[in-house]
Structure formats: structure tokens, C-alpha cells
Amino acid sequence: MSPTTYPSDSGAPLNPFAAVMEITPRSPIIFVSGQGSWLTDSTGRRYLDFIQGWAVNCLGHSPKPLIEALTRQAAQLLNCSPAFYNDQMVRLSDLLAAHSGLHHVFLANSGAEANEGAIKLARKWGAKHRDGAFEIITMDHGFHGRTLATMAASGKPQWEQLYEPKVPGFPKVPLNDLDAVAASITHRTAAVMLEPIQGEAGVFEATIPFLRAVRALTREQGVLLILDEIQTGIGRTGDLFGFEHAGITPDIMTLAKGLGGGVPLAALLAHREVSCFDYGDQGGTFCGNPLMAAAGCAVIEEVSRPAFLARVKQAGRRVADGLLGLSRKHGCSEVRGQGLLLALNLGRDNAAQVVNLCLERGVLINGPRPNALRFMPALTVTDDEIDRMLDVLDEVLGEVKAQ
Ligand code: PLP
């Protein structure tokens, strides 16, 4: 039944979404199933998905390894108190530690929760080891989540006046401005926190020289480096973690999105030397539950294969080359990003129109800025699917140009 045909007693159509809290504009489509790069709505129409749950479904919709892991684990053990170890929590923590070079892992449920944990850990470390330092320098336009502290850490201009008073202690600097970072470090500074690529801001990369210089500066000044890899981690950029491109290692890292491959799972990772929570400082009812941890293990086992990551790079080049070609043809501007986290600067503020016209043609893409499109398909996207998305975008860009 289509959303507009639900009958009421009086015969007038009812709003089928009346009970859903309105927190964002949504089209009246109701999705009911997904497979790989494709979603199907309640009328049976199929859509090619280049959003994938906001860069979440790294193996696509309902991938076999995830279904198998979840089904097996659901029959085995769903949950036990976080006050006990469980085998999947231990297995996933070991996998993440081995791949990242960090030593201790706290599993959580969302990116914001993992970042909130990172902020608390840095403050605890500052209290213990840097004479009460508590400030965390973050970047303009950065995005770290929607809890009160992570909103304060974010540099989203639209949030400046929201939910006042803000959690204090997050001085902001422009991305890629090393002098500004250096000038902001004081005796109050506990850490510098940033995303290797600012995804929500519209896909703006921290340059490799900047990442390396910030790593060196934070070491020299005796403050921590926190990398928020919630969007860039788990193969999204073509390496398992975004920091690998710069050949650095953070003191603290957060992961979410791709880690669960579609289910709510996040992680806070820390070097053993800064991992200083005391009992009771951190926790959560669902943190480290075996069902989600089993999903994370299945994802890491797939995504960390060298052949898988090589394919992400290859697919990313195909999308980027295709976008560059469209940009030249239709007079757009630059293509930004790495791997399968890419953006096209349209050169004018018509992203919402382009997104809607693509949706009408059955292709889901995102417009994070008025002038930019973002592409974050499944890491398993095929060449045919990439070409199909590019064909539809070509048609749409031609149509808006003609208007
Ligand atoms: N950090 C980054 C870099 C993100 O992109 C996001 C979400 O888009 C978050 C944190 C927040 O994650 P979550 O929505 O799972 O709380």
C-alpha cells in the first residue's frame, strides 16, 4: 500500500507518518528491503543506493557474512551484563587492536557515544597527567555527533546558538592551519581532535602534511591526538583506517558507522599509555554486547582483506574519474575525497535539486552542502552500478544546466 492510500474512517487519506517524530525532511518513500547496492520501497520500486545508511553499510544491504554472523550469534548469546566478558567482545577488541596498533578497546553503540568516551578519556588523562588540562582543540566545520559534548566539539555553524549553554572547552581552529593549532595549545590543552576527512562538512580532507605535522606537534607539546574515524574508518578511504594514508598513529581513535556494517556498533580505541579510565568512569548497558560485536568481527574479517581494500581503491578511482568527466562536461568544479568517500562541487547552489532529480530516477545520493554532492556507496559496489549512477547524474546535470 502506498503511503498516500491508507484510508481513514471518513475516507480521507491518513498521514501514515503521524507518529514518527519529525526531525528531518523526508520524502514519503517507505523502504522495506535491501540487497547489495539496491533498496526496494513499499510499492516494489528499486533504488540504487549511494548513501548506504550514511556511509554505514560497508558490505551493502543485508550482506551474507553479516546475516550469518548475526543469525549464529542470536541463537548463541544475545546479551550478558557488560560486567562480564563475552567471547565476541574479546574477539572484536583483539581484531581492532591488532589492526590499529592501539591497545585498548571500549565497544559502544553510536559514533557520538564513542566520541563522548574519547572526550572523557582525554579529560581524565589531562586531570591525571597534565595538571588538570581539559580543553580539546577541534576544527571549524568538524562533526563529532549529537550529544551535548560532541555538539560542542563539532564546528557546525548552524549549531552555534542551539542548546545553550554549551559544554565548555572546545576551542576551534580552521582545518589544515597548523599555526592556528600551535597557537591554540596552552597549559589547559589535553588534546587535538579531528576527522581525517570532514565527511558531514562536505568531504574536506585534512592534508597529509597537516596530519603529520599535527601528530609531531601534539607529541612535542605533550598533548593527545584524537582521530574521529567514524566516517573514514573501516575501509571507506581504501585503507582500513584513514590515518594510514598519512603513516601516523593517533593516541585515541573512534569508529562507528562501517564497523557494524548496518547495525549499531562503535568503538573507542586508546594507546595503553593514555588508557586511564578507573573502574566506573565509563560503561553502558549495551556496550560490548555479543550480538553487535559478532557483526563487527564479520565486517572486519571481510574489509581488512588486502584484495577487498584494493577493490575499494579501484572503485573509488572509477567514481572519481567519472565525476571529473561529468564536472568537465557540465561545468562543475572540483572532486574531493578518497576511496569511496567522495564529493563533487557543483559550482552552484543546486545540490538539493540534483539530489531530488536523481531520487526521481531511482538513485540515492546526498547533498551535504548547497553546492556539493556526496557519494558513499557500499564498498562492494560494482562497476556497472557505478556507471549506472554516473549515467543518471549525467542526465540530471544536463537537465539542470538546460533550465
Ligand atoms: N563523527 C563523525 C565523523 C561522523 O560522521 C558522525 C556521523 O555522521 C558522528 C561522529 C556521529 O556518529 P553517530 O551518528 O553514530 O552518533
DSSP-assigned beta bridge partners for residue 34: 39
Residue 298 to residue 63: CA distance in whole angstroms: 10
Q: Is 230 in the pocket of ligand 1 (CB under 6 A)?
A: yes
Ligand 1, atom 8, lies closest to the CA of 200
Radius of gyration of the chain (CA): 22
Q: Is 228 in the pocket of ligand 1 (CB under 6 A)?
A: yes
Nearest of 227, 297, 237 to residue 261 by alpha carbon: 297
Could you say which DSSP state residue 403 is in? -
Q: Which residues contact 3 (CB under 8 A, 6 or more apart)?
A: 16, 17, 28, 29, 30, 42
Q: Which residues contact 176 (CB under 8 A, 6 or more apart)?
A: 206, 207, 210
Q: What percent of the chain has pLDDT over 90?
A: 95
Whether residue 3 is predicted with pLDDT greater than 50 in this model: the reply is: no
pLDDT digits (tens, 9 = 90+) for 337-358: 999 999 999 999 999 999 999 9
* 283 burial via Cβ count (<10 Å: 0-12, 13-18, 19+): middle
Whether residue 33 is predicted with pLDDT greater than 90 in this model: the reply is: yes
Mean pLDDT for the chain overall: 96
Terminal-residue alpha carbon distance, the chain:
35
Q: Is 199 in the pocket of ligand 1 (CB under 6 A)?
A: yes
| In 130-155, alpha helices (H) | 148-153
Residue 403: the pLDDT is 82
3-state secondary structure of 193: strand
Residue 356 to residue 361: CA distance in whole angstroms: 9
For 133-150, what is the mean pLDDT?
A: 98
For 69-97, what is the mean pLDDT?
A: 97
Q: Is 256 in the pocket of ligand 1 (CB under 6 A)?
A: yes
For 28-44, what is the mean pLDDT?
A: 97
> Count of alpha carbons within 13 Å of 156, Cβ hemisphere only?
20
For 38-61, what is the mean pLDDT?
A: 98
**Domain boundary assignment for the chain:** 7-62+306-402, 77-303
Pick the CATH number of 7-62+306-402 from 1.10.12.10, 3.90.1150.10, 3.40.430.10, 3.30.56.10: 3.90.1150.10
What is this structure's pTM? 0.96
Q: Is 239 in the pocket of ligand 1 (CB under 6 A)?
A: no
Q: How far is the CA of 391 from the centre of ligand 1 (A)?
A: 30
Q: Is 100 in the pocket of ligand 1 (CB under 6 A)?
A: no
**Reported confidence tier of residue 8, pLDDT bands at 50, 70, 90:** low
Residue 150 to residue 197: CA distance in whole angstroms: 17
Q: How far is the CA of 269 from the centre of ligand 1 (A)?
A: 16
Per the listing, cell 522495506 goes with 32
Q: Which residues contact 203 (CB under 8 A, 6 or more apart)?
A: 197, 336, 337, 341, 342, 343, 368, 372, 374
Residue 6: the pLDDT is 53
Provide CATH code, domain 77-303: 3.40.640.10
Residue 51: the pLDDT is 98
